[in-house]
Amino acid sequence: MTPRPGSLCSQTTRRKLLAMFLALVLGTSIVLYAYPGAGGPAAYAAYLYTRPRPTESRRKKPLPQHQQPQQPPRTEPRRPSVEIPAASRPGTQSSVIAASRAGPARSGEDADTESEIPAERRRLPQAIIIGVKKGGTRALLEFLRLHPDVRAAGSEPHFFDRNYQRGYDWYRSLMPPSLKGQLTMEKTPSYFVTREAPARIRAMADGNTKLLVVVRDPVTRAISDYTQTQSKRPGLPAFEELSFRNVSAGIVETHWNALRIGMYAEHLQRWLRYFSRKQFLFVSGERLVTDPAVEVSHAQRFLGLRPLISEENFYFNTTKGFPCFKKAESQGQLHCLGKSKGRQHPNIQPEALARLQEFFQPFNRKFYQMVGHDFGWD
């Protein structure tokens, strides 16, 4: 039987199609098993299903602004607060001094070295000149300020008698900046005769404050006190009228402050209830004028200072009758106390002077016994 031409052509076509299908299946199988990291056809199918579609992000339209989710406000992390001491705050005298000594800031190893430089700060006084008025307290303070380890307030703070209610922060603010190891001190002569002062000063440092008292012949001291007051009040009555209730009878006016200050023993008894005797240094006001180097030497030893102040620091001014002083680094430049020092005393009647010397004699002797030293006023 002879085949038809049309059926022969269809059979050939079917064979070609079958061969192409087998080649496609074989190629697909090779690709599946040759895919790196593939786990077979199932893994490849999962990869095709889960792979990211680049066109998906392009098809996604952004939401309108009013429909977008609210983001929490971005805040900076809070820095811990650090209290800066008053002596280190910018603009204070101590910060300027510290900055000038430290020089410009450096980095690295030099900066670490610079941070070790001790900073100055204001401290409560470790020593106080508590008296007495017109005894030579200003002279002693100025002489001690020659020492490089002493930092002293220039004016009288009057904290423990007039300004105690202002508190220690106010009191500390009056002190000059000092380094650790330096001595801070002040002088207010009225403390010695103020009843509240001993207890208040003891409370400041648990009784560890060192106390200096410059004493002077009470009669001479009273005349000096009167002279200062008279310079401010020219119409003041005569010294004799103020010193005696009855001039002819010689009855002393013990309530007059110029005489009451000179009763040193009575005032000292009150201080010894709060402080031991070893916490006091009693300086002779007379020798502070005639031989300042000796008295200052005693003060340096008492305060634990290096003995740097000597006779070379002083020069006696014969015009004023008072010593002037100089610092070692001042190249011989002398400094003298103000015009108020060395005033000319008025002439006092000899009978009045003798009666006052007699009045103060028992007070002086008791004072000598309490301090263990005879000042020779009798």
3-state secondary structure 243-296: HEEECCCCEECCCCHHHHCCCHHHHHHHHCCCCCHHHEEEEEHHHHHHCHHHHH
Residue 210 annotated in active site: no
Give which of 306, 305, 293 is closest to 139, Cα–Cα.
293
The verdict on whether residue 134 carries a ligand-binding annotation is yes
The one-character DSSP state at 182 is P
The one-character DSSP state at 92 is S
Distance separating alpha carbons of residues 169 and 159, to the nearest angstrom: 11
Backbone region of residue 130 per phi and psi (left: phi > 0; alpha: psi in -120 to 50; beta: other values): alpha
Say which of 16, 60, 133, 134 is annotated catalytic. Answer: 134
* Helix orientation angle between 292-303 and 137-144, rounded to the nearest 10 degrees: 70
Cis peptide before 132 (omega within 30 of 0): yes
Side chain identity at 177, as an amino acid letter? Answer: P
Residues 326 and 304 sit within 8 Å (Cβ to Cβ)? no
The verdict on whether residue 345 carries a ligand-binding annotation is yes
The verdict on whether residue 343 carries a ligand-binding annotation is yes
The verdict on whether residue 318 carries a ligand-binding annotation is no
The verdict on whether residue 341 carries a ligand-binding annotation is yes
Distance separating alpha carbons of residues 130 and 200, to the nearest angstrom: 13
Q: How many distinct helices (H) and strands (E) make up the chain?
A: 15, 11
Distance separating alpha carbons of residues 133 and 317, to the nearest angstrom: 22
The verdict on whether residue 88 carries a ligand-binding annotation is no
Side chain identity at 214, as an amino acid letter? Answer: V
The verdict on whether residue 4 carries a ligand-binding annotation is no
The verdict on whether residue 78 carries a ligand-binding annotation is no
The verdict on whether residue 335 carries a ligand-binding annotation is no
Q: Which helix (H) or strand (E) holds 43?
A: helix 41-50
The verdict on whether residue 89 carries a ligand-binding annotation is no
| Binding region for 3'-phosphoadenylyl sulfate | 134-138, 216, 224, 341-345
Instruction: Point out the residues that are catalytic.
Output: 134
| Binding region | 134-138, 216, 224, 341-345
